[in-house]
Structures are given as structure tokens and as C-alpha cells.
Amino acid sequence: MELLEELSICCQKKERIDNEEQDNICYCKDIVVDSVIYNKVRTCRESGIQTKISMEDFDKGNISDLEILGLLYNLFDNAIEACQRVKEGERFIEISAVKVAGRLMLTIRNSMREVEVRNGRLVTSKKNKDFHGVGLGIIEDFVKKHRGVMKIKAKDGVFEVDIGVEIW
């Protein structure tokens, strides 16, 4: 499914959920980003994953909606997948984003089982190894395009991705 189609579905679901639950939660001022976060948080709740979102002052600057969708979907999907392998009650995802000195600084942390790292890359536990790393490749391309940096840490049951990219 195309990202723009998925965004449209997300916005429709958010409106329907808001009307059903009467809780117009707003995670950030950008409606595109807010819709993605809203729906991913809902998925997290359904999977027993605790969330902490700190993106109130989110500013994507010159980054297109399509690019930010690709970034957020891949980050969230990877984090949700990792959390689903963790025992219930220990699952969490935290995401934060701020604009500092012309840079978008975004961090996502999530619980995980211990992973194997070989040659600086995560070793997949997926059955279909052909799809391993596809999302991470999209994230890496995004970071490179926006003259940024990305750091990945995996320690003591916590996986963290820190991204900093130029925006204007």
C-alpha cells in the first residue's frame, strides 16, 4: 500500500476513534505526524506496549510528508516488532523529537530481547531473511539525504536509535 494511501486511512481512523472515544489526543502540531503517532500508539496499546511520546514542538522543516512518513513508520514498526518479542509487562516505546540549532533530533527507544551484532549490524531473527534491514535502509537513506547522523545502541534489553538531520 502506498504511504499516502495509508496516511489517508490513518487520518480516517483517527477521526473515527476520536469520535468513538471522545479523547482528542494531540501528540504534535503536524497533522500528518500526529495521525501516524496516534495510530501507532493505538497499535501499541493493543499489543500491551507502554508508550511515552514527547513531540509537542515537532518541526519537520523542509522534510516532505512522504519522507517523514517513511521514517516514522519504519521506526515505529521496527520498535513494535521488537517489543512483541518481549514478555508482557516489560514492553515499552519512547519517542521524542526536538528542533535544536537547525537540526531535527529524534530518538526512539524500545524494549527488546538481546540481539546479536555482527560487523556493526544487527543479525536478524526473522524467518524470511530477505526482508531484514529494508526499513533500516530506508532510514539510513533518509539520514544521508538530509546530511544527518544516526546512532544505534542495543544494551541491557533496550534498543535506541538517535537521528539528527538538518532542517530549514
71: closest CA among 155, 145, 157, 154?
Answer: 145
Residue ranges in 1-64 assigned as alpha helix (H)? 3-21, 31-46
- Number of domains forming the structure of the chain: 1
Q: Is residue 159 part of a domain?
A: yes
Sign of the C-alpha dihedral computed for residues 17, 19, 22 and 27 taken in this order: positive
Reported as a single tens digit per residue, the pLDDT across 42-82 is: 999 999 999 999 998 889 999 999 999 999 999 999 999 99
The reported pLDDT for the residue numbered 25 is 82
The reported pLDDT for the residue numbered 120 is 60
Reported as a single tens digit per residue, the pLDDT across 19-50 is: 444 356 889 999 999 999 999 999 999 999 99
Neighbouring residues of 52: CB distance < 8 A, sequence distance ≥ 6: 92, 93, 94, 95
9 pLDDT above the threshold of 90: no
Q: What is the largest CA-CA distance in the chain?
A: 49
| CATH number, domain with residue 88 | 3.30.565.10
Q: Which domain holds residue 52?
A: 48-166
For the whole model, what pTM was predicted?
A: 0.81
Reported as a single tens digit per residue, the pLDDT across 104-163 is: 999 999 999 987 666 666 666 656 655 556 688 899 999 999 999 999 999 999 999 999
Q: Is residue 66 part of a domain?
A: yes
